[in-house]
Structure 1
Amino acid sequence: MVAWRLARRHGARAWRCVSGEAQRLEEHWRLFSRCQTASAPVESLEALSTELHGLVQRTQPTAEQEAAKDALLRQVQQAGQESLDGCQAELFGSAATKQWMPGSDLDICLLAPGMTAKASQVRGLRKVASALRQLGGGTHNIQPRFHAQMPILRWAPRRPDRAGALACDISVGNVLAVANTRLIATYLEIDQRVPVLLRAIKVWAKKRGINNRQRGSFSSFALTLMLIHVLQARPSPLLPSLQDLAIQHELPPLFLQGADCRYCSDSELISGALLKLQGDHGTNQECVGALLLEFFRYFGWDE
């Protein structure tokens, strides 16, 4: 099983100390995941669904945390406008898809004309760093990371334990990440079960230490794509392929950094595509508990 193999890889010592109860649960899951006809009791799935909706409520940022996020974005926006002509700051990642959770960093892209090559991006970030030092008031440290594939400035609070202290990664001209975020946001708006499932999977992965691309495990973007794939592959799909839909309706290509990023956001076209995909199965009525179980069954299958 994918999850168990990753657990062994990233926590071998903890794995050796696993309790008998955990071993029993693992064997139960192995048997369950291999049985295509096995189904959990309806009451258990409903109870799980209730817990998942509760998890969403518990992991929502407070009004104060949202205010701190907005204030940080305004500071970066000001630094960008003072440093780069025609600059606009835009959130991407979880903060832009309403999946942001307290304690998570922000991802901010500065969009400015002509900032597409790595050399120009680094020069732009150096100017932004100088402006941030003037605006930060000594509350944040600037950590340049210019050798990454996408150069960034890490702007981290000197006292992360203080209320409202947030860190962010700032990039320039990261248009592909912004486009991917808009695509994911559109997928999340199609069905209200999708954001619930994604938040639960991200919490699960983080608790198990397998949601960190820099350490060789899953990025949040990868987990999101995995979930979208599963929901597209259900007998009665919850989601169509927005990219395929754009091509079918001959929407104009949108090339960013060499990739065609076009997708369909027309709600009527999306609804029509879903009806066609669902066919005789009808509208998908699975609860979020059942869908989460199918996510783990799908990627836990071991032929």
Structure 2
Amino acid sequence: MDYGQTSNANEPLYGLLESTLDDILSLIKPAEEDQVRRLNTVKDIRTAIQSVSSLQGTAVIPFGSYVSDLYTKWGDLDISIQLSHNPSSVGKKKKQDLLRDIMKALIKRGLGHVKYIPQARVPLLVFKSRLRNISCDISIDNHVGEVKSKILLSIAKIDGRFRDMVLLIKEWAKAQNINNSKVGTLNSYSLCLLIIFHFQTCSPAIFPPLKNIYGGNLLEDFAERRFTSGGEVEDLCVANIASLGPKRGENMSTLRELLISFFWKFSKLKELAEDYAICPYSGRCEPIENKPQWRVKPYKLIVEDPFEVPDNAARAVSVPGLAFISRAFADTFRKLSSTEVLSDKRALLGSFLRPHALVHAGVPPLENRAAEASRGGRRPAAWFPSSRQSAAPGGAQRGR
């Protein structure tokens, strides 16, 4: 990977980290066979529901990280069964009934294990394909999710470092046990938004505020017929990205520099979350008191969904979950500031990879992660204003 040279690019202290990041990316990036497995999983589901009378004429559409090209080789697959062109035309009860029909069809064919979750905010089936060894979240008429995926694909094309960051952070979050909204930590979409925010607030900025790419609310825009299809939204976003023109004062930070400053930036996340929301829409932290929708709900962390403002993409984060997330950021920053850890490839791999991935990398899992987390490093300072300050931060990046 060539992200441009900086004055620190060849420092011996960071040489092992940079080569380790390359090794991790080589391990977790999907190969052609991983894409084929996902395509075949979609075909399996399509075949299974063809005989279901209530699902005649529907389309089986993948979305999420697979469509955004932001998935690792072990990533899940999101699938929407599309009945209509209007995301608000099918009620929750009908979605629940249709998912039950899909579940029966999948079980009848013996395709794998199915778990029905009717009371979720978006009712879904969790399907684990026995043939393909892939886990899928199946929902009904998830037009908004499909459009978000394609907007993220366009955003990812602005700068190649973004995809590498997303893949690394997703695997790191899994290794740190902070990527599971079901137990009060972050979902993968929130992680992507945090990385977008980081790219907006480093200096010079890499990404613009997302309101410059799409300034609406997808649910409202579809409901009020401002757009009749997701393709119109995608075309608008592509045109707006093209209109941004060449970057001035282009950010030449290496992937390693962006990664370390990312961990530093969110190492005080728990304190930040007390008074501020993280808003990729505006590209800045916004005081929670500015929006009534945020004040009336007991959110522990607010990461505003830039495509459904002012929705909170991190609504599931709990009190203990937020403490655990913040600690993971701070511990990793300290590790990457420690000469001892930076000279130990096993420790670096253990910070970013799950046990099964470590086995793929030819390294046994770390035996004592708690001991590793306490190694060396300096105490991170806050980059955001204290609760006594009224202005939100401009978002300066830590110096190289």
The TM-score, its normalising length taken from structure 2, stands at: 0.56
| Match of residue 273, structure 1, among 236, 240, 244 | 244
Match in the other structure for 1:14:
none
Change (3 A) 1:255 1:82: farther
- Which deviates more from structure 2 when the two are superposed, residues 180-189 or residues 113-122? 113-122
CA distances 1:92-128 after superposition (whole Å, capped 9, x unpaired): 2222222322333221111112763101111221222
> Identity of counterpart residues, as a percentage?
24
| Contact map agreement 1:64 1:164 (CA 8 A) in 2 | no
Work out the CA distance in 2 between the residues paired with 1:144 and 1:266: 37
Q: CA deviation at 1:254?
A: 6.8
| Match of residue 299, structure 1, among 261, 266, 278 | 266
Q: Are positions 1:255 and 2:225 aligned together?
A: no
Q: CA deviation at 1:130?
A: 3.0
| Contact map agreement 2:103 2:114 (CA 8 A) in 1 | yes
Match in the other structure for 1:200:
168
Work out the CA distance in 2 between the residues paired with 1:169 and 1:259: 28
Q: Are positions 1:141 and 2:141 aligned together?
A: no
Q: Are positions 1:235 and 2:235 aligned together?
A: no
Q: CA deviation at 1:286?
A: 0.9
Q: CA deviation at 1:41?
A: 7.0
| Match of residue 218, structure 1, among 175, 186, 189 | 186
Amino acid across the alignment from 1:119: K
Work out the CA distance in 2 between the residues paired with 1:219 and 1:258: 29
The TM-score, its normalising length taken from structure 1, stands at: 0.72
CA distances 1:160-193 after superposition (whole Å, capped 9, x unpaired): xxx8322212111122222221222221111111
- Which deviates more from structure 2 when the two are superposed, residues 107-116 or residues 184-193? 107-116
Q: CA deviation at 1:273?
A: 2.2
Match in the other structure for 2:82:
111
Work out the CA distance in 1 between the residues paired with 2:259 and 2:48: 42
| Match of residue 252, structure 2, among 271, 285, 288 | 285
Q: Are positions 1:96 and 2:67 aligned together?
A: yes
Work out the CA distance in 1 between the residues paired with 2:214 and 2:33: 39
Change (3 A) 1:88 1:139: closer
The DSSP-based 3-state class of the residue aligned with 1:165 is coil
Q: Are positions 1:125 and 2:99 aligned together?
A: yes
Amino acid across the alignment from 1:152: L
Work out the CA distance in 2 between the residues paired with 1:272 and 1:184: 17
| Match of residue 76, structure 1, among 36, 45, 69 | 45
Work out the CA distance in 2 between the residues paired with 1:182 and 1:63: 20
Q: Any unmatched runs of 5+ in structure 2?
A: 1-6, 269-381, 387-400
Q: Any unmatched runs of 5+ in structure 1?
A: 1-38
Amino acid across the alignment from 2:119: H
The DSSP-based 3-state class of the residue aligned with 1:211 is coil
Q: Are positions 1:61 and 2:30 aligned together?
A: yes
Aligned-pair Cα RMSD in Å: 3.1
| Contact map agreement 2:46 2:60 (CA 8 A) in 1 | yes
Q: CA deviation at 1:47?
A: 4.6
Match in the other structure for 2:275:
none
Work out the CA distance in 2 between the residues paired with 1:59 and 1:82: 37
More helix as a share of residues: 1
| Contact map agreement 1:141 1:155 (CA 8 A) in 2 | yes
Change (3 A) 1:45 1:192: farther
- Which deviates more from structure 2 when the two are superposed, residues 74-83 or residues 203-212? 74-83
Q: Are positions 1:150 and 2:122 aligned together?
A: yes
Q: How many residues are aligned here?
A: 251
The DSSP-based 3-state class of the residue aligned with 2:237 is coil
Work out the CA distance in 1 between the residues paired with 2:253 and 2:244: 19
CA distances 1:115-173 after superposition (whole Å, capped 9, x unpaired): 63101111221222233234x3x241222111211111122246xxxx83222121111
| Contact map agreement 1:45 1:290 (CA 8 A) in 2 | no
Work out the CA distance in 2 between the residues paired with 1:273 and 1:98: 22
Change (3 A) 1:210 1:257: farther
| Contact map agreement 1:81 1:88 (CA 8 A) in 2 | no
The DSSP-based 3-state class of the residue aligned with 1:300 is coil
- Which deviates more from structure 2 when the two are superposed, residues 111-120 or residues 217-226? 111-120
CA distances 1:21-74 after superposition (whole Å, capped 9, x unpaired): xxxxxxxxxxxxxxxxxx977524555343323322111234333322211111
Work out the CA distance in 2 between the residues paired with 1:214 and 1:50: 34
- Which deviates more from structure 2 when the two are superposed, residues 194-203 or residues 61-70? 61-70
Amino acid across the alignment from 2:58: C
